[in-house]
Amino acid sequence: MISDIAQIEIMQRHPCFNGDVHDRVGRVHLPIAPRCNIQCNFCEHNVCANLTIQHPGWTAKVLSVCEAVELVHSIARSGKENYVIGVAGPGDPLANEETFDALSVLHNYYPRILKCISTNGLLLGEKLSQILAAGISAVTVTVNAPDSAVGKFIYSWVRYQGTIYRGQEAAEVLISSQLHGIKMAIDAGLSLKVNTVLIPGVNDTHLVRLASLLRETGVSLMNIIPLFSAGRMRDYRAPTCDELRWTRQACGVVIPQFYRCEQCRADVVYLP
């Protein structure tokens, strides 16, 4: 259980929760989670990707646990201290035991460095004890729909407890698990932010309703990000700047918004 005081400190220190420190605190993403348990229609994983392109789910290579630990050791030897360690892919961190193996080791070496994950939330409730034991104190959950009637257009399938669900049933399983896991995580004292991909013509008119649902669940920070036109949604257009601004403003009446997200790669290393 993480105390309220510690939670406030984490929110203030983390560059993806506090825009005021976004340029002053670094990010080290460890690409150790290749497997995913859902298929988002906009998602496109890419290994050996062009290093000049910033794209969620992309990485130059997948690291082993030992390679990930050595990467952080090398950064520590360089004298850098002001950064967070995160796992954000290229798959879902909670669907890969390597996430817990690596972060547990790193927490033993560097207990004061914040550890975080970015997940689809399907296994958030089930994996909560492992999350806490690994020293993870901040979690970002991507929630794109308030209900399965919207979610069925966003997700192709969900693999949960040995069964593959498709269509609206898949969205129902995912969204139910997300909301349950989010409440459990918040009750356990984790700092939690929700990311939402704005998809014009699909979920854009439903995001204020989603914001209200998240607030009722206990979420205190929302990050609305534009669609990357990729995967099965490669022919869908990204929102305009005005559409993104209007949606953030409308949802901001319901729940505070984060504005500094750069939609980082799964292997980003930024050390200011």
Which CATH number do you get for residue 143? 3.20.20.70
Nearest residue to 88 via CA among 271, 225, 268, 230 = 268
User: Is residue 130 within a helix (H) or strand (E), and if so which, with residue range?
Assistant: helix 128-133
56 pLDDT above the threshold of 80: no
Whether 65 and 272 have beta carbons less than 8 Å apart is answered as no
Tokens 């699909």 locate to 202
Any domain includes 123: yes
Any domain includes 59: yes
Any domain includes 143: yes
Q: Return d(Cα 77, Cα 91) in angstroms, integer.
A: 29
* Host domain of residue 110: 4-266
Average pLDDT over residues 237-253: 95
Q: Return d(Cα 175, Cα 168) in angstroms, integer.
A: 10
Any domain includes 131: yes
Q: In which band, very low, low, confident or very high, does the pLDDT at 231 lie, cut at 50, 70 and 90?
A: confident
Q: Return d(Cα 159, Cα 67) in angstroms, integer.
A: 29
> Residue 12: what pLDDT?
72
> Residue 24: what pLDDT?
82
> Residue 229: what pLDDT?
81
Average pLDDT over residues 168-189: 96
Any domain includes 271: no
DSSP 110: -
Q: Which pLDDT tens digit goes with each residue over 80-107?
A: 778 899 998 899 999 999 999 999 999 9
Any domain includes 45: yes
Q: Which long-range contacts (CB under 8 A, 24 or more apart) does 4-12 make?
A: 4/189, 6/137, 6/189, 7/137, 7/189, 7/190, 7/191, 10/114, 10/137, 10/138, 10/191, 11/191, 11/221
67 pLDDT above the threshold of 70: yes
Any domain includes 251: yes
* 269-270 and 26-29 strand pairing: antiparallel
140 pLDDT above the threshold of 90: yes
CA 181-184-190 angle, to 5 degrees, is 100
Count how many domains the chain has.
Answer: 1
Q: Which pLDDT tens digit goes with each residue over 17-42?
A: 877 777 788 889 999 999 999 999 98
Q: In which band, very low, low, confident or very high, does the pLDDT at 15 lie, cut at 50, 70 and 90?
A: confident
Any domain includes 272: no
1 pLDDT above the threshold of 70: no
Q: Return d(Cα 175, Cα 209) in angstroms, integer.
A: 14
> Residue 244: what pLDDT?
95
